[in-house]
Structures are given as structure tokens and as C-alpha cells.
Amino acid sequence: MASALVIKNLKKTYGNGVHALKGVSLEVPEGDFFALLGPNGAGKTTIIGITAGLVNKTSGAVSVFEHDIDSEPEIAKAQIGLVGQEVNFNPFEKPLDIVVNQGGYYGIPRSIALPRAKKLLEDLGLGDKMNQNGLTLSGGMKRRLMIARALIHTPRFLILDEPTAGVDVELRRGMWDYLRKLTSEGLTILLTTHYLEEAEQLAKHVAIINKGSIVASGTMDEILAMHEDKGESKEGYRGGRLEEVFLKLTSEK
Amino acid sequence: MNGYRKWIAFYTMLRKDIVRIFRIWVQTFLPSVVTSVLYFSVFGTVLGSRIGTMQGVDYMTFVIPGLVMLAIVTSAYANSSFTFFQSKFFARSIDEMLVSPMPPWLIIAGFVSGGIIRGILVGTLVMIVSLFFTGLQLAIHNVLIIFGFAILTSLVFALAGLVNGVYAKSIDGINLVPTFVLTPLVYLGGIFYSVHNLPGWWQAITYANPLFYLINGFRYGFLGISDVSIATAVGILSVLIVALVGVNWYLIRTGLGLKQ
Ligand SMILES: Nc1ncnc2c1ncn2[C@@H]1O[C@H](COP(=O)(O)OP(=O)(O)OP(=O)(O)O)[C@@H](O)[C@H]1O
Ligand SMILES: [Mg+2]
């Protein structure tokens, strides 16, 4: 099966000299629900930014459904829907306009984008908000608006950078169900999250990144198998298995 | 993206900007209209009658083309510098375009076209307002030259405003250039006088001011008089356009000053 995303030896040094990525290689199979995990500052957003065309890479290669982002940027970008980590829409615009205009940037005429945008906003529970100022949306609603915006051009590959940050439990479950439904329809999803238990339940493949390098990757089962439960009764809080593996791989010792 | 999709993307940008321009008309249209009413009142009506004629035409008639040009230049410039700056710094909504398959030149074309539209609209408004000060008389020597200069001038200053918007690091960064560079250039470019009224050294400086050629070319379209030849004016305009397209092309290659 084809790969939705292939990253080879990706390096990124920011203008201020920070080596954010030190040679990352990664593959996301088509149809996957892929979790990219790592502590704050590990380089997750940088990888996503380069893939989506928001950050220039220093070296390495990235291709989306076998279209190189340098030589075929238009085709590669048309496959991707991005939900960024930071809210990045103009809050003085209305959700419906934001989503319809985004369709326009992908070349979708208004007559097609309008009904599609309404449906997406309704599916994401924003039906009654679509003609209000973006300013009036709560944090969780803003996230869902960004998901609707990312889906307007029916991408094959959806990238979500911490989509559930600041979203309450009930809505978070709803969002996971929605994303799961999308993968069952064939959409490939890559996401980052700091909610490891949710990732453990949902993701098929995982990559763990720390300080700009991938420290583990594989199927969820393979990663979980790295967890050795010695049965010692440790003091204090203990999380799920993925959390234990994550900490073992990323904490400084 | 095929041609049709590119057109849709371009149309989306333009439509969005035009809706915005009309929605905030108090900020986009009104200032230029108010300013020119003041100018027409003071220079045309009050002082004009004392000045008499300039280059053989009534003073009011002489200043109209320059004041219309002033409106075009400042509107086109303000539009592209501000919209670009806003989408870059304000919630970074420029990401919406950067993640899309729109090639960078198309994004630039979208921003610049918004500036051209606003320049032409405001210029037309100011011209209509001027009619109330001339007893509804408008001298027209050559409509093609008027339109040509209006469009090319808005293009030049929309491009220049875009460069400014790309480089601006703060809101002051897009206010400085209009205040300290653009306005002086326009005022000293011969809106209010013919270059022949100036002392020799000042004339020499005026000839180095690109606005001088634009204003004279534009005035020629209305009155058929000019301090310079139209060919020279068109030549200068072309050089400016080529230079600014070059700068913007460079910005495209380096990621529009937007990507780290
Ligand atoms: N624009 C930038 N300029 C300079 N350095 C940056 C920039 N963006 C990110 N960095 C640095 O690059 C490194 C990786 O950042 P990145 O945002 O990719 O991390 P992340 O894994 O997404 O973290 P988080 O979980 O906190 O979102 C960090 O050290 C960060 O400080
Ligand atoms: Mg991040």
C-alpha cells in the first residue's frame, strides 16, 4: 500500500541556531491513524510545519502520497488538510466565510464550497455559530472550526497538531469518534497529542520524538511491548503503559 | 492547480478583500474623500482665486489630477501593506493561503489586485467629489491615458505596499513609509505647482522624484499639458514596475519573508 507521508533524514535549524530536527525519518502508511508523540519542544510542530509548507526545511526529503513537497508542491499540498497547533484564523470573520474561503484557496468554487462548509460545521457541532464572529467562539469551538476548515477540500491526509488541547472531556470523545469515523472512510490521520491514554487507544502506529530525533517508532503494540512491568509497586502516580514507555524514552537520565 | 482552480483561488482573495473594503468604508474610502474636500476647498476655492492660472489653466483644474493621484497612491499602498501585514501578524491567517496549493505569485497577485481595486475606487470617488468644486466640469484630454496611468500607478504602489507589508515588523513599520516617504514624494512631485515655478536646484531634485512623472502623465490625460513627455513618464513607470516585480519575486523565492 502507498504511504501517505514519507520523511527522509529531515533536518531543521532555525534562524536562531536551534537544531529542531536532527535527521528525522518517518513513514505514515495510507489509511493509518498515526500518533506523533514527544515532550514540549521535541520538534513535532516543526515536522508538521515543513510537511504542510509553513516552514522551510534545512535538508532532507518529504513526500505526500509520493509527491515531493519541493518538486510538486501544489499536488502535495492539495492532499493535506492541516489543523495547526495555534489558532490561526481571523477572529473578525464568520466561521462559514472562513471555511468557504479556505475552499476557494484550493480552487473550489463557492457554489460547491458553501453547502459542504455548512455540512462540516454542522457535523462538528457549530451549526448555530456559523454566522457569528469567530471572536465569539470558545476555545474548543475554535479547534472544531479549524477541523472543518481543514476538511473543506476533502484531503486524503489530515494532520492535527494537538487538536484536543483545551477541549473538555465530552467534546474530546466526540472529536475522537469523529476522527475515527473519518479514518474508517479512508482518510489518513497524523496527530500529535499530550493525552497519551487516548493515543494508546486510538493510534495504529506511533513515533516518539525527543529533542529532534525519533527515539522509537512502530505499531502501537510494538511500542507498548517495550514496557517492562517488573511488578514493583512504585510510589506515586502511574499512568498507562504508553505513558511509561514514553517517559522511559524521553526523560533525561 | 489547473488554470480554473487558480482563477477561483484568485477570485476568492479578491472577493474577500473587496467585501472588506466596502465593509470598513469609513476607513478605506472616507479619509481620502475628506482630505480632498479640504484641499479642494482651500487650494481650489479659497486660494485658487488668488493664484489665478497655472500653465494656462484655472488653478483648481490644475490641482485636481494631482489630488486624485494622491488618493490613488495612498489607497493602493495602504491596502496591500495593511492586508498583508494583518494576515501575517494578526492571528497569522496567512497560513490559510500558505498551506493551500496556491503558488506564491498567485498569493501576491491577490494582495496586489485588492490594492489596485481600492486605488481605482478611491481615485474615482475623489474625482467625482472634485466635480462639485468645478461646477460639474471635468476636462478630459485622453481617457486612455487617464485610465492607463491610474491602473499602472495603483499597480506600482500596491506592489510597493506589499513589499512594505512583508518587511514590517510592527504596525509602525507600515505607517512610517507613507508618512515619511510617500506623502513628501507626492507633495513635492508637483501636485500644487508646475516645475517651472521652482528655482533651478529644486527643479533638479524634482526630476529625481518618480511621482513627478506619474502626476504629470496623469495630468496630461486630463488637461493635455505636462512638464515632461508622456514617453518619459511611461518609461519611468515601467522601470518601477519591473523593479518592484523583481523585489516581490525575490520575496517569493525566500518564502515571502513568512517562513522560518
Ligand atoms: N520559529 C522558531 N524559531 C526558532 N526556534 C523555534 C521556532 N519554532 C520552534 N522552535 C524551536 O524548535 C524546537 C522544536 O519546536 P516545536 O514547536 O517543533 O516543538 P513541539 O514538539 O511541537 O512542542 P510542543 O509540544 O510544545 O508543541 C524548540 O526548541 C523550539 O524552541
Ligand atoms: Mg507543537
Question: Domain of A44?
Answer: 1-79+158-163+178-253
Per-residue model confidence (pLDDT) at position B116: 97
**Does A57 share its domain with A2?**
yes
Q: For chain A, what is the radius of gyration of the CA atoms?
A: 19
Residues of A in contact with B99 (CB under 8 A): 52-54, 77, 80, 82
Residues of B in contact with A80 (CB under 8 A): 99
Which residues are bridge partners to A218 per DSSP? A206
Least Cα separation, residue A208 to chain B (angstroms): 24
CATH number for the domain harbouring residue A248: 3.40.50.300
Per-residue model confidence (pLDDT) at position B197: 81
Q: What's the rounded Cα separation, in Å, for the pair B173 and B167? A: 8
**Does A58 share its domain with A100?**
no
Q: Establish whether residue A44 lines the binding site of ligand 1, counting it when its CB lies within 6 angstroms of any ligand atom.
A: yes
What ipTM goes with this model? 0.90
Q: Is residue A94 domain-resident?
A: yes
**Scanning the structure block, which residue is given the C-alpha cell 514507555?**
A245
Q: How many residues does chain B have?
A: 260
Per-residue model confidence (pLDDT) at position A239: 66
Q: Dihedral sign for Cα A106, A108, A114, A118, please.
A: negative
Question: Domain of B113?
Answer: 3-254
Q: Establish whether residue A95 lines the binding site of ligand 1, counting it when its CB lies within 6 angstroms of any ligand atom.
A: no
Q: Is residue A73 domain-resident?
A: yes
Question: A5 exposed, middle or buried (CB, 10 Å; 0-12, 13-18, 19+)?
Answer: buried
**In chain A, whose CA is at the least distance from the CA of B103?**
A74
pLDDT in tens, B114-166: 999 999 999 999 999 999 888 777 888 889 999 999 999 999 999 999 999 88
Helix axes A95-105, B3-23, angle to 10 degrees: 150
**In chain B, whose CA is at the least distance from the CA of A20?**
B260
Contact A53 B99 (CB under 8 A): yes
pLDDT in tens, A227-245: 766 555 556 666 678 888 8
Residues of B in contact with A90 (CB under 8 A): 86-87, 90-91, 93
pLDDT in tens, B38-94: 988 887 778 877 888 888 888 888 889 999 999 999 999 999 999 999 988 887 889
**Does A73 share its domain with A183?**
yes
Domain count, chain A: 2
**Does A143 share its domain with A184?**
no
**Residue A12 CA, closest ligand 1 atom number:** 12
Report whether pLDDT(B257) > 80: no
Per-residue model confidence (pLDDT) at position B172: 84
Per-residue model confidence (pLDDT) at position B73: 93
**Does A73 share its domain with A191?**
yes
Could you tell me which of B86, B253, B232 has the C-alpha nearest to residue B161?
B86
Per-residue model confidence (pLDDT) at position B173: 84
Per-residue model confidence (pLDDT) at position B72: 95
Q: Measured between CB atoms, does B87 come within 8 Å of chain A?
A: yes
Domain count, chain B: 1
DSSP chain B: --HHHHHHHHHHHHHHHHHHHHHTHHHHTHHHHHHHHHHIIIIIIIIHHHH-EETTEEHHHHHHHHHHHHHHHHHHHHHHHHHHHHHHHSTTTTHHHHSSS--HHHHHHHHHHHHHHHHHHHHHHHHHHHHTTTTS----S-HHHHHHHHHHHHHHHHHHHHHHHHH-SSHHHHHHHIIIIIHHHHHTTTSSS-GGGS-HHHHHHHHT-HHHHHHHHHHHHHHS--SS-HHHHHHHHHHHHHHHHHHHHHHHHTTTTT--
pLDDT in tens, B162-209: 999 888 888 888 888 888 888 888 888 888 888 888 888 888 888 889
Q: Which residues of chain A have pLDDT under 50?
A: none
Q: Is residue B259 domain-resident?
A: no
Q: Establish whether residue A56 lines the binding site of ligand 1, counting it when its CB lies within 6 angstroms of any ligand atom.
A: no
Q: Measured between CB atoms, does B246 come within 8 Å of chain A?
A: no
Q: Is residue A173 domain-resident?
A: no
pLDDT in tens, B10-41: 999 999 999 999 999 999 999 999 998 998 88
Q: Is residue A169 domain-resident?
A: no
Q: Is residue A48 domain-resident?
A: yes
Residue, of B248 and B242, whose pLDDT is higher? B242
**Stated pTM of the model:** 0.90
Q: Is residue A172 domain-resident?
A: no
Per-residue model confidence (pLDDT) at position A220: 86
Q: Is residue B225 domain-resident?
A: yes
Q: Is residue A168 domain-resident?
A: no
B13, B93, B105, B252: best to mutate for the A interface, most A CBs within 10 A: B93
